[in-house]
Chain A
Amino acid sequence: MSRVLDCTEIVNEIPFYCYGEVSSEVEERIEAHLAACAGCRGELARHKAFLELMDAREVPASVLGEDAMLASCRATLRGAVAAESEPRSSGWLNALRNFSRFQIPFQVPVGAVALVALGFLAARVTPVRFGGVAQAGVGDAMFSNIRSVEADPGGGVRIAVDEVRRRVVTGSPRDAQIQELLVSAVREESNPGLRVESISILKDGADLESVRTALLDALTHDPNPGVRLKALDGLKGWAGNPVVRRRLAEVLLRDDNPGVRIQAIDLLTAHRDDSIVGVLQNVVQREDNDYVRTRTTKLLEEMGASVGTY
């Protein structure tokens, strides 16, 4: 039943044969044909050479290294998922709206209880800066947020309250827990002032890879240029590090803020090596800021590299 394959069919099957994507029956027929046909053996050799060539391609690497990139992606995702899983703010408002539509006899007393409860909670939990009362207790302030209010069919009210307790952590900036908190603040805190402050403290610990990674992440991902500049400042002592240099080169190519690009070229200039010549040549082509372009051109000339290669 097995039909003999002709040379055209064999040539068409060779790519799949090399990937092991043919059935055992077809494989046998191909091998039988190859044993007798020098032309098809030549084609197989050429195809294998092509596949080897494809394997010689350099594997793309993140400028940070795969582990650090993965860690940074996970941190960002965690934040995004947390934001996604928060109940919609309209939840309790909707509940109140729906509640007003109830045509039930105990609407008035239930409403009264709800209002009393809300008033009580508001006075109890509103942050001090808004004139509220920080809860007394073991010395830690507690802040609360009402998540939802539901009328209970039994006439009661069900109120969900998120409570956040403030804890003061003190210690040396080199302390591992302090550094972890500072790194979290750099990555996740919404207040840019706090991020800048955290980087200012963290930068002395840039000899640690985790801290350096946080600074590099802030440098390329923070939406606030002030924070990115602070991160650059923190990396000053590491301008000779190959990973940092590649990230600086990336900033030079991608950052939309000329101030950040100027600072990046200044740091790159402090340590010269040939590995960034390609990037610098690319910058000369693409850069629209005169200062950065001039500095880059000068740097290339000083390095003895061609300015106009790219």
Chain B
Amino acid sequence: MYAETLSTRIVATVPSMDEASLIRAAQKGDQDAFERLVRTYDQSVLRIAMNLLRAPEEARDVYQETFLKVYKNLNSFRFDCSFHTWLYRIATNICLDHLRRRKVRREESAVAETSEGTVDRMSTFVESAPHANPERQTWNRQLSSKISGALEDLTPRERTVFELRHYEGLRLRAIGEMLGTTEEAAKNCLFRATQKMRVSLESFA
């Protein structure tokens, strides 16, 4: 399902030399170069935000905050890590802030507690194939809600690591760099997240 991972897409689309030239040009104020950088990565940033937050409005906010921050701080980028690591670090930190704020005010969460259990608000917007099996659709909806509820119960950091590893296919080393921590710490975080998720989804197994 996620065979084409984020990292392979990046390698395929951006030769590193071109990227370095683009970054230097953008640092000198070349707006076109900045726009090209944005267009190279913005789909991935939006996708990460959508996956992590599952709320289109918040994902839009993350997109804007991320690239404005990149624009304002581009001159401080010194090529001591890859540009995408730097960019995703900014994006994931902003996502983490949103998740933390959401933890504080649970009522704004993408997941709603209802008399029938946890319901993922996003699932109400996911378009189903017109001739899909209704029972399968119901099962998928229930599963999606259950998964979303279980993800909401993780700490923001655990959730971010899990989503980036499982759904975005990023390596633990890259995730560690993005979150400003070590690969080992990211690994421990993933382990905790996986254990919790497995317990939460036991009834579906």
Q: Residues of A at under 8 Å CB distance from B? A: 12, 15-16, 19, 21, 46-47, 49-51, 53-64, 66, 69-70, 72-74, 76-78, 80-81, 84-85, 242, 246, 249-250, 253-254, 275-276, 278-279, 282, 308-310
Contacts and interface: CB of A to CB of B under 8 A. Distances in A.
A246 B125 contact: yes
B42 A310 contact: no
21 contacts: A15-B191, A16-B172, A19-B166, A19-B172, A53-B204, A57-B144, A58-B123, A58-B141, A59-B126, A61-B122, A63-B56, A69-B46, A73-B42, A74-B38, A76-B64, A78-B35, A84-B71, A85-B29, A246-B127, A249-B125, A250-B56
Interface residues of B, number: 57
A66 B48 CA distance: 12
A53 B203 CA distance: 11
A76 to B, nearest CB: 6
Given A61-B125, A73-B60, A15 B194 contact: yes
Interface in B103-162: 112, 114-116, 119, 121-128, 140-141, 143-144, 147-148
B201 interface: yes
A69 B112 contact: no
Contacts of A51: 166
A128 B205 CA distance: 73
A77 B64 CA distance: 6
B72 interface: yes
Nearest to A247: B125
B57 interface: yes
Contacts of B34: 81
B197 interface: yes
Given A53-B143, A57-B143, A310-B115, A73 B63 contact: yes
Contacts of A254: 57
9 tightest Cβ-Cβ pairs between the two chains A and B: A278-B124, A55-B1, A58-B126, A73-B63, A57-B147, A58-B144, A310-B114, A15-B194, A62-B56
A60 B122 contact: yes
Contact of B50 (A12, A15, A53, A62): A62
Contacts of B124: 249, 276, 278-279, 282
Contacts of A249: 124-125
Given A53-B204, A60-B54, A77-B38, A309 B114 contact: yes
Interface string B71-92: 1100000000000000000000
